[in-house]
Chains A and B, each alone.
Chain A
Amino acid sequence: MAQAFPYTYYACNCFDSNTSGKRAAAVLQEAADEDEGTFDPRSPRANYQLYPLEHLLYCEDCQQIRCPRCQIEETLNWYCPSCLFEVPSSVVKSDGNRCNRSCFSCPLCTSPMQTFSLDPTGESGPPFILECQYCRWSTVEIGIEFEKGQGISAQLARIGNGGKPLPSHKERDKERERRKELEARKRDGRELFSPSTETTHTDKDEGPPSHDDLFASLSAFYKSQVESQTSASPFSSHDINFSSPSAYSRIMNLYSTSGPKKKQRPKPTAMREAASALEGLTLHDPSADTAAIERLKRDGWASTISPAQKRAQPNPSVRFTSDLRPLATLLCTKRSKRCRSCRQILTKPEAKITSTRYKIKLLALNHIPRLSIRALASDTPVPGSSRPPAKVFDYNALKPGIPTHFLFHMSNPLFDPIKVTLATPSTTPGKVQSRVTILCPQFDVGANTDIWDDALNMPAKRGSLLSDQAPQIEAGKIWDRGRNWTSVAVEIVPGFLDESARVEAETPGRGGPLEEDDDVLEIPVFVRIEYEADTGADERGLVDSKGGKGEKEKREEAFWTVVGVGRIKGS
């Protein structure tokens, strides 16, 4: 998806794992030490460190921006995004991360499915079906109808495709026990067969066991293995080897309601693996492949499902549309976030599912000045309106070789005035080299005031504070200034797209044929801010705006941003 120009992304300092947790000063020092300190927005790594300011948090203890990579998430609760009901974590553990309140999505197109009555009398009685209103796929296509319009989840769990009933958990367990006994009796009666011949003819009569059958058998087998081991030897538990009981019980715990056993685990004597179909072993059956190929010949590709559809199915081995099942909606989570280095809580939403409020929310945009760019010769268009503004600047067609003026606009969310220093490389990195000059790279930005001050002084203070003189483009002078914002002019000479071949000749490795998005003009801008803050008065809400009595502490902050100016027009 194309991002609308212009935009600004902020780089989190954690991109270099060595710098995480370092103060701004250290980062600055490092930047000064390095000769090639320029941030390259085109490096593959940049994909993982650039964020819009709205997505970044701020740790007040570390005085650092925190991006998704340097946060820790903690799940507060689980809920279904479709019916918006909370699901207790115990249910998530036992039943999995899908909604069991009859929320289903279409296995073909992912749209939500609705229950409809197929009642021939028109009285909305049985039978019922699930149907997708988007692509019109319905459970009729897999031969499933429901007797009741309520409790679809429970009904669906008991009906297989084609309408044959599915056994419940308990029935499965009983059936398995019965067969095991049968087998044991057979074995007693005759000579012992080798295990391999024994397994091959377990249930020839009923076709291969289903995915659910196998999972249940395997699960029961491992459970019995773990139990037989835990009671035995008294050794310590800390080794988690492959094939050790502790590894199994850990995995088993992922799929069961019962909590982890706190008992000391015995030293593992390697456990045996499932050796028969009743224990969950599946042997590859070549005849299934032949059948699939025959079916492909007969029905064609149209009867198969796409990789995405296959991935969404609970049974990963389905191949044909006739095997599809409606998908119970996947649950979502509400999460709180912590700073990865000091564990301070950065955001904490209210636990209630319907609430969108936060108890704690430390946003970067309340701590970091916002840098934005716009063309000097442009009005801001009114979005959605058909009337274009008087002057429109086309950010998608920057003219190569023509010096064009832009404005960097810096607004300050802090309640202290800041000193800003901007730095850019004189030519942009990448194959197309554009020249960039910030006419006034060092300037001050006034303090933010609280909204009541602002509201009271609105007519006088909202706009420009330099209204008596017309703004002009002059080196070392700011363009315009308001209460908590300052703008400076930037001259950009977009590079020529066809010159990259020449660049390649001069500095090998930089030029070469253009690839997708090489015509996007992005400028890395290093921002350093300095300000004096009241010590020990971080909670701005508690400090009265006059402040004064606390001692001042010098602070600085530094980070890279990437400003997307636009797309250079080809000649």
Chain B
Amino acid sequence: MSRPVTKKPAAKGEYIETDSGNKVSRRSAITGTANITLGGRTVIMADVVLRGDLHSTRPTASSSGKEGTPTSISIGKCTVISTGSVLKPPCRMSRGVPNFYPMKIGDNVFIGPNCVISAIAISSHVHIGANVTIHAFAVIKENVKILPNTVVPSAMVIAPGSVVGGRPAQIVGEVGEGWGVSGGGAGNGLGVGGGGEEKWVEGGDLRELVRSIK
């Protein structure tokens, strides 16, 4: 495993922490901040690109009646977006005009480094490996593991509990009943003790991981 060259961390510390505990790297590239929601304790690492500016341009006749700012990317709680990943809401041409659809990402989702994501929805407890590409309008359900270097074709629905890999992605297995359950004890990941051990597991509660990122 090769590591990227070390860059000098910013003098003030790598992350800006919001009131709800979101940690956003000073070196991330976020456009259209008003169209992005973060659920709290979510981490956006360096060199991550969030294209919040790509929101729906359709006149929204919303039921509530108010003309609010459209959401283009919403991310849940304790989700980690690793270095160099790009999140771009999916786009469909209608009558010659590109129209963007909002992207929704759940809680405790881990997105590995250098991914390109255009899914319409990623549910909770999903683990995405490094260098994964997810094409437009793909739907990733709960408890899914996407192996590194996978390409998920557009509009693919990945059923809960699947392990997928390959180009294009195919179901290669099931995550098993123990997915996301922290080892070493009952409870939500609090049962495992220090000693330099990882206090989080793939698909599990990422609170400890978020806490360790500084």
Contact = CB atoms under 8 A, between A and B. Distances in A.
Interface stretch (A52-60, A199-207, A298-306, A505-513): A52-60
A122 to B, nearest CB: 8
B107 to A, nearest CB: 13
Given A54-B178, A365-B184, A483 B157 contact: no
A122 B95 CA distance: 8
A485 B197 contact: yes
B211 to A, nearest CB: 11
B47 A361 contact: no
A421 interface: no
B71 interface: no
A384 B170 contact: no
B157 A82 contact: yes
Interface residues of A, number: 70
B184 A462 contact: no
Contacts of A484: 184-185, 191, 193
Interface in A325-367: 332, 347, 354, 356, 358, 361, 363-366
A79 B141 CA distance: 14
B162 A81 contact: yes
Contacts of A54: 176-179, 181, 183, 201
A439 B60 CA distance: 68
B185 A386 contact: no
Interface in B165-181: 165, 168, 170-171, 176-179, 181
Contact of B178 (A83, A363, A382): A363
Contacts of B34: none
B9 interface: yes
Given A53-B178, A385-B82, A366 B193 contact: no
Contact of A448 (B82, B112, B170, B191): B191
Contacts of B151: 134
B12 to A, nearest CB: 15
Interface residues of B, number: 64
Contact of B183 (A110, A132, A370, A392): A370
Contact of A385 (B45, B153, B197): B45
B147 A1 contact: yes
Contact of A386 (B83, B141, B155): B83
Contacts, number: 184
A371 to B, nearest CB: 10
A369 interface: yes
Interface string A410-444: 01110000000000000000000000000000000
B112 A57 contact: no
B101 interface: no
Interface string B170-212: 1100001111010111111011111111100100000001001
B14 interface: yes
A131 to B, nearest CB: 11
A56 B176 CA distance: 8
B117 to A, nearest CB: 14
Interface string A524-560: 0000000000000000100000000000000000000
A65 to B, nearest CB: 12
B160 A413 contact: no
B142 A366 contact: no
A1 B154 CA distance: 24
A81 B158 CA distance: 7
B110 A384 contact: yes
Residue among B7, B159, B185 with most chain A CB within 10 A: B185
A357 to B, nearest CB: 10
B195 A407 contact: yes
Given A356-B142, A374-B196, A112 B177 contact: no
Residue among A82, A383, A483 with most chain B CB within 10 A: A383
A372 interface: yes
Nearest 10 Cβ contacts at the A-B interface: A384-B82, A54-B178, A411-B184, A451-B187, A81-B159, A482-B193, A111-B153, A134-B153, A55-B176, A370-B183
Given A57-B177, A385-B83, 18 more contacts: A81-B157, A82-B157, A112-B157, A132-B153, A133-B155, A364-B178, A366-B181, A370-B184, A378-B196, A384-B112, A386-B3, A386-B46, A388-B6, A409-B196, A411-B183, A484-B184, A484-B193, A540-B186
Interface of B: 1, 3-4, 6-7, 9, 14, 45-47, 80, 82-84, 95, 110-113, 130, 135, 141-143, 147, 151, 153-162, 165, 168, 170-171, 176-179, 181, 183-188, 190-198, 201, 209, 212-213
5 contacts: A53-B183, A111-B168, A383-B110, A448-B184, A480-B195
